[in-house]
């Protein structure tokens, strides 16, 4: 059977669906729950998967008394019964997110050693649980977030800065819960699956410092608001460090990762008659450059049908004043398309597993050999203007899923059909 666009699209979608299924809290969370405590169970959480994680807890502990609050993105709530679901904005922080973070801190304070705090953490939690440090305002944090996104800094750098401007992240949530036991169940969306980076690590110790945050701000030439700069300069109220006795009864359990999703995608590829090659689950760098690199790898590996798979989080460094439209995944895919130059027999999908790619209404897009021709617009000009979304919208190859209620970062698949 030959590989045409229809067959390729079906195979790519099957791989995408398999990757999401591997990170679905309703199937992967229950096995990681701890033994219920003698005392109370208080559930808190933040992230794009928070509502579905909360629902999974309610299903698994249907006969247990529990309460709590989680915060997720607008449009991603689910009808939970015992755990309240708040909705806030992402990626720009807003007042409901600030209120939700303050509510969670209040819930975990005053607990006893017999109580359990179950923290449900996933990607996007940094913005959703923004709680400004004393002396800072929500407007300050909005300005900081805008500068972080514009800078092109990797997620670890951004979250180091966020933690040093926060009253919630960097271990502060777990410290507030002392002496209760704290068990964190997490879905990773960060390269390397570092617990301290996922949602800025509200329940784990933070080894980064104010000095590092200041160095990152200078190195990436960020223009922070005066109050934020002054807070970093003062360096007071450090994040919670390794060895802090308030974190002695904390435990971190990873329930889903990008690698797990890629392994599931590889199994789906084999079922489609493709040989999978996983390039890595934590690829970083400029999105357009990674796309071009994947194109070159595809061109060099023609032969028996195969698929190149990768995950991770790229960056898009936009000049100040640029009003782009799209996200990391359409940016990556456009870089790939320009490098491939309509090479036959190569098909791709780049999409964000949370269902929203940057500033767009799509998860990402498909690429076929004739995509740029079908778009009928200046693809190189669109790349220079950071308007990758426009190309795939014009071609009709966007992948629109809406919020998926999980998040294991970007997933990419490039089919190289027999030459």
Cβ–Cβ < 8 Å for 359, 326: yes
Give residue 150's pLDDT: 87
Under DSSP, is residue 393 helix (H, G, I), strand (E, B) or coil?
helix
Give residue 321's pLDDT: 74
Helices and strands (H, E) in the chain, number of each type: 16, 12
222 in the same domain as 91: yes
The Cα–Cα gap between 179 and 115 comes to: 8
Q: Which two tokens stand for residue 38?
A: 């003698």
118 in the same domain as 183: yes
291 in the same domain as 250: no
DSSP of 126-152: HHHT--BPTT--HHHHHHHHHHHHHHT
The string of pLDDT tens digits covering residues 13-43 is: 999 999 999 999 999 999 999 999 999 999 9
Residue tagged 């008659």 (tokens) = 273
The Cα–Cα gap between 138 and 168 comes to: 14
Give residue 325's pLDDT: 83
270 in the same domain as 216: no
251 in the same domain as 271: no
Q: Which two tokens stand for residue 231?
A: 């807070």
Last residue of a domain, one of 256, 284, 315: 256
Give residue 378's pLDDT: 97
Q: What is the CATH number of the domain that holds 313?
A: 3.40.1480.10
Last residue of a domain, one of 256, 281, 308: 256
215 in the same domain as 198: yes
340 in the same domain as 239: no
Give residue 419's pLDDT: 56
Cβ–Cβ < 8 Å for 362, 399: yes
The Cα–Cα gap between 328 and 316 comes to: 6
381 in the same domain as 305: yes
Give residue 1's pLDDT: 60
The Cα–Cα gap between 275 and 10 comes to: 16
398 in the same domain as 295: yes
Q: What is the CATH number of the domain that holds 55?
A: 3.40.50.10180
Identify the burial level of 302 via C-beta atoms within 10 angstroms of its C-beta, where 0-12 means exposed, 13-18 middle and 19 or more buried: middle
Last residue of a domain, one of 202, 229, 256: 256
Q: What is the pTM of this model?
A: 0.92
Q: Which of 285, 299, 396 is nearest to 338 (CA)?
A: 299
Residue 188's H or E segment, with its range, is none
Identify the burial level of 93 via C-beta atoms within 10 angstroms of its C-beta, where 0-12 means exposed, 13-18 middle and 19 or more buried: buried
What residues of the chain score a pLDDT lower than 50? none
Query: Which residue range forms the structural domain that includes residue 346?
Result: 5-21+259-416
Cβ–Cβ < 8 Å for 136, 227: yes
Number of domains in the chain: 2
179 in the same domain as 244: yes
104 in the same domain as 9: no
Q: Which residues are paired to 44 by β-bridges?
A: 69, 119
């Amino acid at each position: 059977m030959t590989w045409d666009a229809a067959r390729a699209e079906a195979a790519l979608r099957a791989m995408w669906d398999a990757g999401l299924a591997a990170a679905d809290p309703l199937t992967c969370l229950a096995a990681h729950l701890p033994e219920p405590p003698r005392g109370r169970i208080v559930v808190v959480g933040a992230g794009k998967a928070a509502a579905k994680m909360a629902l999974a807890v309610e299903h698994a502990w249907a006969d247990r008394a529990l309460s709590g609050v989680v915060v997720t993105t607008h449009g991603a709530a689910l009808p939970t019964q015992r755990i309240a679901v708040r909705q806030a904005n992402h990626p720009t922080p807003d007042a409901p997110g600030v209120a939700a973070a303050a509510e969670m801190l209040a819930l975990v304070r005053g607990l006893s050693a017999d109580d359990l705090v179950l923290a449900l953490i996933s990607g996007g939690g940094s913005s959703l649980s923004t709680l400004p440090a004393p002396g800072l305002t929500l407007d300050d944090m909005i300005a900081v977030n805008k500068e972080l996104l514009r800078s092109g800094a990797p997620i670890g750098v951004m979250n180091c800065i966020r933690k040093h401007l926060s009253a919630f992240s960097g271990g502060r949530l777990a410290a507030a819960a002392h002496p209760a036991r704290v068990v964190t169940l997490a879905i990773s969306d960060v390269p390397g699956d570092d617990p301290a980076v996922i949602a800025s690590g509200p329940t784990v110790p933070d080894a980064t410092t104010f000095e590092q945050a200041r160095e990152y701000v200078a190195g990436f030439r960020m223009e922070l608001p005066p109050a934020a700069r002054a807070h970093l300069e003062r360096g007071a109220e450090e994040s919670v460090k390794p060895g802090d006795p308030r974190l002695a009864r904390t435990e971190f359990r990873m329930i889903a990762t990008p690698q797990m999703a890629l392994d599931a995608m590889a199994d789906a590829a084999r079922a489609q008659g493709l040989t999978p090659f996983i390039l890595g689950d934590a690829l970083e760098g400029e999105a357009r450059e990674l796309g071009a690199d994947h194109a070159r790898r595809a061109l060099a590996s023609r032969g028996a049908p195969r698929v190149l798979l990768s995950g991770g989080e790229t960056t898009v460094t936009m000049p100040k004043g640029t009003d782009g439209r799209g996200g990391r995944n359409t940016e990556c895919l456009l870089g790939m398309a320009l490098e491939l130059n309509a090479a036959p027999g190569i098909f791709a999908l780049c999409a964000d597993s949370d269902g929203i790619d940057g500033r767009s209404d799509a998860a990402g897009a498909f690429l076929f050999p004739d995509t740029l021709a079908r778009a009928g617009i200046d693809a190189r000009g669109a790349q220079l203007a950071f308007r990758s979304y426009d190309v795939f919208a014009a071609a009709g190859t966007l992948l629109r899923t809406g919020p998926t209620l999980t998040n294991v970062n970007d997933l990419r698949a490039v089919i190289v059909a027999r030459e």
